[in-house]
Amino acid sequence: MDSRGICRRLATGLAVLTVSGLLAVASPGHAEAAGSCPGRKVRTLSFSTGSVWVYKRNGYVCAMTVAKRASAPKPMTVSVQARGSRAVADRGRYGHHAGPVTAHVGHRCVRVRGSVGPASVDSGWILC
């Protein structure tokens, strides 16, 4: 094999690796769900069809709803509301998780809600 053939194979291999790396970073998946919210996990709100993970960091609260079973897209929601402010929400049809959503809460109480299909959870005012 001549040097041009080797260079062509190396270039093709490098292109394949680059594209696969970009796709791995750009496409959401189950591994991303676990690390999507910054900060430390402060609550897990469980309900029959899923749970809402709540994280806090530097005056911000982040939450995401995660289905118990990943499957075909179904209605899911997640919202975070600081007392005295409007809720920040994500609503749609998802297969694994809704969110994350983040709200600046400072030192105010927070209400977190989430749903997967017909079941839902409401934290009430927490983290006061």
55-67: per-residue pLDDT in tens?
A: 999 999 999 999 9
C-alpha R_g of the chain: 20
Top CATH class, 35-126: mainly beta
Gap between the Cα atoms of 10 and 15, Å rounded = 9
pLDDT reported for residue 14: 45
Gap between the Cα atoms of 88 and 61, Å rounded = 11
Gap between the Cα atoms of 115 and 67, Å rounded = 9
Domain ranges of the chain: 1-29, 35-126
Say which DSSP state 86 is in: P
Q: Where residue 7 falls among pLDDT bands split at 50, 70, 90?
A: low
What percent of the chain lies above the pLDDT cut of 70? 73
15-48: per-residue pLDDT in tens?
A: 444 434 433 333 333 334 445 899 999 999 999 9
pLDDT reported for residue 36: 87
Gap between the Cα atoms of 66 and 82, Å rounded = 21
